[in-house]
Amino acid sequence: MSRRYDAVLFDLLTALLDSWTLWNTVAGSERDGRTWRAAYLKLTYGTGAYRPYETLVREAAEIAGFSPTLADNLDRRWDELIPWDDATATLKQLEGHVKLGVVTNCSDRLGRRAAARVGVRFDVVVTSERAGFYKPDPRPYRLALDELGVDPSRTLFVAGSAYDLFGTSAVGLDTYWHNRVGLAPPDGAPPARWHERTLAALPALVVESRAKA
């Protein structure tokens, strides 16, 4: 077997975990959950320098026209996050072949708890709090690359939100967009190298059979 990449970095809250269901449940419906989450994504990816994640979740609820107490309810129910049905098995196929890491727009407190829900050991977990900036600023991605000791040309990023494409493009990371819920990309987003609704294709793109003679 040969490796196309030396490391795979993952967005956490959309690429590996079904955070959509939890947000919808806390909001009271899928429509309200998606409205709140859309406001959060737009706010967070436009923030730049780190402000408390929990504050942004609260502000997003207010922007979307909901009670800011939704943020407190989400915090209390955080450990109800579950991986997508193919996430843990897919990462276990990659374990031992490549380095695995997370780059997530989250606080350290919630990011590490969320990463533990995936059920695999990550070589690095970079949160926006630890990096000091929110994605798509290049610094969170670069911090993960530096800590893993890998080159961007040999690293694949698995995005859950197309907002990541702005940052991965700037850093030079190939990107696999795991668009599980069928989102439209934001205006001006660079294209992903791969755009899939599941993680099923990922292992074969990372670890491949040796080329035939």
Q: Do 203 and 174 share a structural domain?
A: yes
127 and 189 together in one domain: yes
pLDDT band at 207 (very low <50, low <70, confident <90, very high): confident
The first and second tokens of residue 45, run together, are 């990816």
d(CA 213, CA 201): 24
pLDDT for the residue 2: 72
1 band by pLDDT with thresholds 50, 70 and 90: low
How many structural domains is the chain composed of? 2
Q: Is the pLDDT of residue 104 over 80?
A: yes
Q: Are residues 128 and 105 in the same domain?
A: yes
Q: In this structure, what DSSP letter does residue 4 have?
A: S
Domain co-membership, 103 together with 48: no
Dmax over CA atoms of the chain, in Å, equals 63
Residues 86 and 71 in one domain: no
Residue 112 lies in a domain: yes
Average pLDDT over residues 116-132: 98
Q: Are residues 101 and 88 in the same domain?
A: yes
Domain that holds residue 106: 2-18+81-208
Are 75 and 170 found together in one domain?
no
Q: Residue 209: its pLDDT value, please?
A: 43
Of 56, 79, 102, the position where a domain reaches its end is 79
Q: 109 and 53, same structural domain?
A: no
Same domain, 28 and 119: no
Final residue belonging to a domain, choices 41, 56, 79? 79
* CATH assignment at residue 12: 3.40.50.1000
Checking if the pLDDT of 32 tops 90, the result is: yes
Are residue 202 and residue 184 in the same domain, yes or no? yes
Q: Let me know if residue 213 belongs to a domain.
A: no
In a domain, 34, yes or no: yes
If asked whether residues 120 and 26 sit together in one domain, one would say no
What tens digit of pLDDT does each residue of 141-197 get? Answer: 999 999 999 999 999 999 999 999 999 999 999 999 999 999 899 999 999 999 999
Q: Vertex 35, ends 126 and 140: CA angle to 5°?
A: 15
* pLDDT, tens digit (0-9, with 9 covering 90-100), for 35-91: 999 999 889 989 999 999 999 999 999 999 999 999 999 999 999 999 999 999 999
Would you state the pLDDT for residue 109? Answer: 97
The yes-or-no verdict on residue 212 having pLDDT over 60 is: no
- 152-185 burial, b at 16+ Cβ within 10 Å, e below that, comes to beebbbbbbbbbbbbbbbebebbbbbbbbeebeb
**Residue of 187, 145, 146 lying closest to 168 (CA atoms):** 145
Whether 39 and 110 share a structural domain:
no
pLDDT at 205 over 60: yes
pTM of the model: 0.94
